[in-house]
């Protein structure tokens, strides 16, 4: 029986999560679109980047602390918004938020979460750096209400995802017949019978639907009506004028997620974003797109210090966080690493994932000759192993 004490890396947590989470929900988190080439490239291109080891350097008094859009964070990491987190582990978003609160990093709740904005606020304290992620929907009235709910719940930043105007073709989800709650097909029933711990925990909670939407959107009172609503709600007409509308509705810190081109980064700065996330949606949208780390340097060069540039995609270790930071990312979003920890051991697993990442970041930074993350730049990297902005 695997134990938390034996988990030494994120891959250890992934293996346990795969054995404990029903296939349809594990595959939802651990897959990409189409051929999954971009999904795999996110990890592969990070691993190509090599560090320069320094010796005879005082390694005492190390710090990985930073600020993210003005808020203190234990390291340049925040928990990314992940849909259906509450299907990885019962009440999963609450458990992940509690782990983030104790660790001192921000937690971002997805619009498509199982636990609601209000659930998170009720089960955490004001110490939590609580952010909310929003999709652009056709129903502007519903969006305005959701933004107001996030404000009322104490969210200090809004993360607007820009790369989901249409949904990428995710073959595993199609084959699994992904639904929440699980669709009672023969294959899914057989698989659920092999996950008794998961089934028992789900039987003990009332949180089984998309609680940010059910009961909050006109005409959506159950999963059937929700499915009909969401199928027509992602807005393919998204424009920068819509982003201005969201910023005016919100009035607080605005983070734009899904930027992969320097021109879009410049537009984000012009339209008042406080931060952008260089992201290809974890390889779940446009297959064949570059890895996030490949797009990062050109975007950093394009916007300079006009806003904060962060990155997500493929981060499975503290070394990956260090690589992104060295190339100019002032923060990173971690999704799958959190999901693996949650699916494996619940809240304790998320805490373990964060501890693993910080330990790897801290030690690797020291081996590269630094004791403070704020002093790290690309000089810690071996030339020729990392991407650079085109000249």
Pairwise CA distance, residues 385 & 48, whole Å: 6
User: Beta strands of 99-147 (E only): which ranges?
Assistant: 107-109, 130-135
Cα–chain center distance at 156 = 17
The reply to whether 95 belongs to the active site is: no
Q: How many CB atoms lie within 10 A of CB 201?
A: 15
- Kindly tell me the burial class for residue 174, based on how many C-beta atoms sit within 10 Å of its own C-beta (0-12, 13-18, 19 or more): exposed
Q: Which residue has the tokens 């199928």?
A: 231
Q: Choose among 333, 316, 192: nearest CA to 276.
A: 333
Is 110 marked as a binding-site residue?
yes
Indicate the pairing of strand 157-161 with strand 253-259: parallel
Is 125 marked as a binding-site residue?
no
Is 379 marked as a binding-site residue?
no
- Of 95, 208, 281, 370, the catalytic one is 281
DSSP 8-state symbol, 272: T
Is 26 marked as a binding-site residue?
no
Is 284 marked as a binding-site residue?
yes
Is 82 marked as a binding-site residue?
yes
* Tokens representing residue 82 in the block: 């992940």
Is 48 marked as a binding-site residue?
no
Is 300 marked as a binding-site residue?
no
Is 251 marked as a binding-site residue?
no
Is 315 marked as a binding-site residue?
yes
Q: Could you tell me if 285 and 168 are in contact, meaning their C-beta atoms sit under 8 angstroms apart?
A: yes
Is 257 marked as a binding-site residue?
yes
DSSP 8-state symbol, 168: -
- Kindly tell me the burial class for residue 348, based on how many C-beta atoms sit within 10 Å of its own C-beta (0-12, 13-18, 19 or more): middle
Is 312 marked as a binding-site residue?
yes
Is 170 marked as a binding-site residue?
yes
Residues that constitute the known binding site for glyoxylate: 28, 135, 170, 281, 284
Could you list the active site residues? 281
Residues that constitute the known binding site: 28, 81-83, 110, 133, 135, 161, 170, 257, 279, 281, 284, 312-316, 335-336
Residues that constitute the known binding site for FMN: 81-83, 110, 133, 161, 257, 279, 312-316, 335-336
């Amino acid at each position: 029986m695997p134990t938390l004490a034996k988990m030494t890396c994120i891959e250890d947590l992934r293996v346990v999560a795969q054995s404990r989470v029903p296939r349809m929900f594990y595959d939802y988190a651990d897959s990409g679109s189409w051929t999954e080439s971009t999904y795999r490239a996110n990890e592969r291109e990070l691993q190509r980047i090599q560090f320069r080891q320094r010796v005879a350097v005082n390694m005492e008094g190390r710090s990985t602390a930073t600020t993210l859009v003005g808020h203190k964070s234990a390291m340049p990491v925040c928990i990314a918004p992940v849909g259906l987190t509450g299907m990885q582990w019962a009440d999963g978003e609450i458990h992940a938020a509690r782990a983030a609160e104790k660790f001192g990093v921000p937690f971002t709740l997805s619009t498509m979460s199982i636990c609601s904005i209000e659930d998170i606020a009720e089960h955490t304290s004001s110490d939590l750096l609580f952010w909310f992620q929003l999709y652009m929907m056709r129903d502007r009235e519903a969006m305005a209400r959701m933004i107001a709910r996030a404000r009322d719940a104490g969210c200090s930043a809004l993360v607007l995802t820009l790369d989901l105007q249409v949904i990428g073709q995710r073959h595993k989800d199609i084959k699994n017949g992904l639904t929440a709650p699980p669709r009672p097909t023969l294959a899914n029933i057989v698989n659920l019978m092999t996950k008794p711990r998961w089934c028992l925990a789900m039987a003990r909670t009332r949180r089984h639907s998309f609680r940010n939407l059910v009961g909050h959107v006109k005409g959506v009172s159950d999963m059937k009506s929700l499915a009909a609503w969401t199928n027509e709600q992602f807005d393919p007409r998204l424009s920068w004028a819509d982003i201005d509308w969201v910023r005016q509705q919100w009035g607080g810190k605005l983070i734009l997620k899904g930027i992969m081109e320097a021109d879009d980064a410049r537009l984000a700065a012009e339209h008042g974003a406080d931060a952008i996330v260089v992201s290809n949606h974890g390889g779940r949208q446009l297959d064949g797109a570059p890895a996030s780390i490949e797009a990062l340097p050109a975007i950093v060069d394009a916007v300079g210090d006009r806003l904060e540039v962060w990155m997500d995609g493929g981060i499975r270790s503290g070394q990956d966080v260090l690589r992104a930071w060295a190339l100019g990312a002032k923060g990173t979003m971690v999704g799958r690493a959190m999901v693996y920890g949650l699916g494996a051991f619940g809240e304790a697993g998320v805490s373990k994932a964060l501890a693993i990442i910080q330990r790897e970041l801290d030690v690797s930074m020291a081996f590269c000759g630094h004791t403070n993350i704020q002093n790290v730049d690309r000089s810690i990297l071996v030339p020729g192993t990392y991407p650079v902005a085109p000249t």
